[in-house]
Amino acid sequence: MEYNPFGESTARYKLADPFCIFYLNHVRGNTDNSSYWQTHEKSPSVISWMGFAFEVTKSYNKTLLERMERVQEIVGDKKTVMSVLVTTYGLKRNEYASRFDRTVTMEDLFQK
């Protein structure tokens, strides 16, 4: 997301996606707390984050393709853009599941 900070003429970019929100609010600082999910699964912040979960559909697949193309244009041909899905329970296998190069689940994030 591009934005211009107040009083500055130079544009800045901000990464805002469900994984960043998840990591900053639920992983960072909680890796030593093995009971975090048991005590927070019904908290407003976790319920809110879970609202970002989605199933890849035809229309969302189109959106992902457009975003990947824009990112590839920005970074150029010398870098590879990979699509990674961070999800609570995994990816539903359907005709669009191959859109993701990699899937990371909650189990992957909390392995020691």
pLDDT tens track for 61-77 = 888 889 889 888 888 88
pTM higher than 0.75: no
Residue 17 identity (one-letter amino acid):
D
The mean pLDDT of 58-63, rounded to a whole number, is: 84
pLDDT in tens, 14-56: 766 767 777 777 778 777 777 777 787 778 877 666 655 555 7
d(CA 60, CA 91): 14
Q: What is the per-residue pLDDT for 80?
A: 86
Burial of residue 22 (CB within 10 Å: 0-12, 13-18, 19+) is: buried
- Kindly state the helix (H) or strand (E) to which residue 76 belongs, with its residue range: none
The mean pLDDT of 91-95, rounded to a whole number, is: 82
